Amino acid sequence: MTSATRQHPLVELSGVQKWFGDLHVLADVDLAIDAGEVVVVIGPSGSGKSTLCRAINRLEPIQQGEIRVDGELLPEEGKALARLRADVGMVFQNFNLFAHKTVLQNVTLGPVKVRHRSKGEADKRARELLDRVGVGNQADKYPAQLSGGQQQRVAIARALAMDPKVMLFDEPTSALDPEMINEVLDVMTSLARDGMTMVVITHEMGFARRAANRVVFMDGGRIVESADPETFFTRPTSDRAKDFLSKILTH
Amino acid sequence: MRFRRTASALTVAVTALALAACGDDDDGGGGGGDSAEPSVAETPEFEAGTTMAEIAERGTIRVGTKFDQPGFGLENLEGEVEGFDVEVAKIIAGALGIAEGDIEWVQTPSAVREEVIEGGEVDMVVATYTINDTRRERISFAGPYYEAGQQIMVASDDDEITGPESFTENPDATVCSVTGSTPAENIREYLASDSQLVLFEEYSQCADSLSNGQVDAVTTDNVILLGFVSESDGEFKLVGEQFTEEPYGIGITKGDVAFCEFINETLADNEEAYVAAWESTAGQVEGTETPSLPEPQPCS
Amino acid sequence: MSPVLDNLDLYVDGFLTSLRIIVYSLIGCLLLGLIIAACRVSPVPPLRAFGTFWVTTFRNTPLTVVLVFCAFGLPELGINRSFFFFGVLGLILYTSAFVAEAIRAGINSVPAGQAEAARSLGLGFSLTLRDVVLPQALRTVVPPLGSVLIAMFKNSAVVGAFGVGGDLWSTGQILTSARGYETLPVFIGVAIGYLLITLPAGALLQVIERKVAIAR
Ligand SMILES: Nc1ncnc2c1ncn2[C@@H]1O[C@H](COP(=O)(O)OP(=O)(O)OP(=O)(O)O)[C@@H](O)[C@H]1O
Ligand SMILES: [Mg+2]
């Protein structure tokens, strides 16, 4: 999935501003993510992490600035945007699997309807992906019959089935019972190792140390620090990052 | 817009009738001998046990009539009913010694006329009520007091439709009437197919549809059609002869022969009031002829 | 006296005419209602405004007024079609507003995350609606939609009074006022005719309701 020589970053945000009413949720955000890079975004609650993540596939429109995916400016709502979203995988905190479809149908919907693959081809690929994330034997069940960890792994398979250029994860393990967190993190770690470009919002510092190329720390809608994991966790420069780390590393 | 028609037709009819009523009042006030006011008998005597005795004793009479039929029974803006049916009822009430003010008017649309008689809610119904045998199974009729007849109204520039037979000859021609009315039933035998008949709740809706080209003709009793013709500024005309006889009767309780005969005699004895009743109401419409009282049918 | 048996052929004709009005209106109001509901939830502001305007207009206008505009207003504009056409059109316009609202309520009952997941897979607005949101909305839509449709079935009686004639309601009117039958037995027959349509429809709705409830 790492593509050939590229002059530009795969995802590029420049001067992004967003307000919810009076609330300035994204304040002058600049961020460039190269192909194959894994970026972990951390920060206190309400700091704008989810908004940033959702802005990248325009689930949240922004008011100022530019966002480019693979060099292409995010289009207005419409066909072109749908095409672009097909290249950007997204994994949600609450899985958001389609409740009325089986696991297999969840994974094949996008390839069949958007990529216009044949059903046989889509089924075959879906089963491979489900095997890869370890839920191959659940293919014919409905989401409600699966555990949270299994559902989240299906959601990852669903995103992968589109062969995305980049994957966005918005707190993928926050809704899970502790014993299920690792099964999801393992899948993500192996994805990262295979060279997938990833933006991951998470509080799992172990994952960040293990898999991230870079950690971005947000507070109050701004990117306050951006560094490799080793540097960030051992020598944070800003007071707010230090403060934040002291709070979450205690438990 | 054409929606105006219904309203304006009503307004004109009401105004005409109100003017006519005013004229009568002036005459009545002078106490002139040729007044159109029906006379009220001083102290009529009736055989005990008859409907007449009961009504005279009670001192009031309940009369069912239409409140929405221009020329026959129409409620005016003051809430009083006016029309030929109303005047006929006043003649009969007068013979029972009951003055105009002691008549209680009950609105009886076509669909409820038998019901109110059977239920004893009224003493009689004078409401453009065509005498027929099905109705006779449930009530009795006095009269007839008027021979109406069904006719066809078309647009003035229409020479294709010349009478009811035209609907047999031309299966595309449509004709409008009111749901559940006798005229709507009568026209059926002339139709090539049921789809030629268009039914509405009110004749004004038929007239609107004739005017905007949705239907080719309207059919009902001549009197009602004449009202529309005279209001149409030359847009509508009547074609063909009257092709039915619609004897209007006075509905009373089934089997009340004495009351029936009393009504028939009263009408026969009051020719002058009868003519005046017509001329002050339905007779105001241009093109109508003053009728003479038809031969009564035997009471049963 | 059995006015119903004496006039069974009239009743059957009336029943069939009412059924015809109902079937056309059913198809029309479901399609139109779906389109209007889609407008109401669409991301395009003018479409949303149009949907709102439509629902506000037809939900707040009495059916008889809508029918007057169809049967007497359209001919004034030079549109001369059969009264059956105008009547069914009026009933469709009127009912579509209620259908749209029932569908919209169902759409709103589907968690927003479902549509977001679909959109982030690259599904456009109509695919998202058709393949993800509507099938799930169906569960909550069926009961209120059923009430709306059964009300529409009964409203078909009003259409009969606008030049259509020959439907069940008008048949009752003809038998009572022109042919002098007693009101009560005649309209018991009319009621039975409508029940023959509404009761099976209600039963069918329950079957559908159970079906869509299981499908998850
Ligand atoms: N649709 C919205 N309308 C108004 N305010 C919103 C909306 N969505 C988010 N916000 C506000 O914007 C701010 C940033 O929200 P966001 O979800 O991006 O934060 P976050 O960093 O993801 O927080 P958390 O860790 O709690 O998920 C918060 O104050 C939130 O309340
Ligand atoms: Mg968040």
CATH number of B197's domain? 3.40.190.10
Tell me which of A17-21, A30-34, B242-246, C88-92 is least confident.
Answer: B242-246
Q: What is the pLDDT of residue B242?
A: 86
Residue C200 lies in a domain: no
Asked if residue B104 and residue B37 are part of one domain, the reply reads yes
Asked if residue B184 and residue B36 are part of one domain, the reply reads no
CA nearest to C71, candidates B180, B204, B68, B195: B204
Q: What is the pLDDT of residue B237?
A: 87
pLDDT confidence tier of residue B283, bands split at 50, 70 and 90 = confident
Residues of B in contact with C180 (CB under 8 A): 114, 132, 134-135, 137-138
On the question of pLDDT at A219 being above 80, the answer is yes
Reduce the secondary structure of A184-211 to three states and give it as a string: HHHHHHHHHHCCCEEEEECCCHHHHHHH
Which residues span the domain enclosing B29? 2-147+247-284
Tokens of B267: 């009408």
**Size (chain A), residues:** 251
Q: What is the ipTM of this complex?
A: 0.91
Half-sphere exposure (Cβ direction) of C58: Cα atoms closer than 13 Å: 26
Tell me which of A71-80, B291-300, C1-10, C145-154 is least confident.
Answer: C1-10
Residue C48 lies in a domain: yes
- Domain final residue, candidates B216, B239, B262: B239
Residue C109 lies in a domain: yes
Total count of domains within chain C: 1
CA B18 to CA B271: how far, in whole Å? 23
Asked if residue B162 and residue B210 are part of one domain, the reply reads yes
Total count of domains within chain B: 2
Measure C98 CA to nearest chain B CA, in Å.
27
* Chains with 3 or more CB pairs under 8 A to chain B: C
Distances (CA, A) of A227 to A12, A209, A215: 17, 12, 5
Residue B66 lies in a domain: yes
Q: What is the pLDDT of residue B6?
A: 43
Give per-residue pLDDT as tens, B26-67: 333 333 333 456 678 777 788 888 999 999 999 999 999 999
On the question of pLDDT at B12 being above 80, the answer is no
On the question of pLDDT at A148 being above 70, the answer is yes
> What's the rounded mean pLDDT across residues C89-108?
96
Q: Is the CB of A25 under 6 A from ligand 1?
A: yes
Q: Is the CB of A5 under 6 A from ligand 1?
A: no
Residue C194 lies in a domain: no
On the question of pLDDT at C175 being above 60, the answer is yes
Inter-chain residue contact B184 with C178, CB threshold 8 Å? yes
> What's the rounded mean pLDDT across residues A64-86?
91
Residues of A in contact with C134 (CB under 8 A): none
Residue C70 lies in a domain: yes
Residue B299 lies in a domain: no
DSSP string of C150-200, one letter each residue: HHHHHHHHHHHTBTT--SHHHHHHIIIIIT---HHHHHHHHHHHHHHHHHH
Residue B298 lies in a domain: no
pLDDT confidence tier of residue B228, bands split at 50, 70 and 90 = confident
Measure A136 CA to nearest chain C CA, in Å.
20
Cβ atoms of A85 and A159 within 8 Å: the answer is no
CA B177 to CA C156: how far, in whole Å? 20
Residue B293 lies in a domain: no
**Which domains, from first to last, does chain A contain?**
11-96+166-249 (3.40.50.300)
Residues of A in contact with C122 (CB under 8 A): 82-87, 110, 114, 162
State the closest ligand 1 atom to the C-alpha of A21, by its place in the atom list counted from 1: 4
Residue C33 lies in a domain: yes
Residue C193 lies in a domain: no
pLDDT confidence tier of residue A89, bands split at 50, 70 and 90 = very high
Cβ atoms of A92 and A170 within 8 Å: the answer is yes
Q: What is the pLDDT of residue C215?
A: 53
Q: What is the pLDDT of residue B25?
A: 40
> What's the rounded mean pLDDT across residues B189-195?
88
Asked if residue B125 and residue B56 are part of one domain, the reply reads yes
Which residues span the domain enclosing C54? 17-166
Asked if residue B264 and residue B217 are part of one domain, the reply reads no
Asked if residue B259 and residue B112 are part of one domain, the reply reads yes
Residue B271 lies in a domain: yes
Inter-chain residue contact C114 with A110, CB threshold 8 Å? no
pTM: 0.72
Asked if residue B116 and residue B12 are part of one domain, the reply reads yes
pLDDT confidence tier of residue B14, bands split at 50, 70 and 90 = very low
Stretch (H or E) spanning A69: strand A64-69
State the closest ligand 1 atom to the C-alpha of A47, by its place in the atom list counted from 1: 21
pLDDT confidence tier of residue C173, bands split at 50, 70 and 90 = confident
Q: What is the pLDDT of residue B285?
A: 67
- Domain final residue, candidates B214, B239, B264: B239
Give per-residue pLDDT as tens, C60-86: 999 999 999 999 999 989 888 889 999
Cβ atoms of B223 and B150 within 8 Å: the answer is no
Inter-chain residue contact C122 with A100, CB threshold 8 Å? no
CATH number of the domain within which C135 lies = 1.10.3720.10
Residue C101 lies in a domain: yes
CA B144 to CA C98: how far, in whole Å? 52
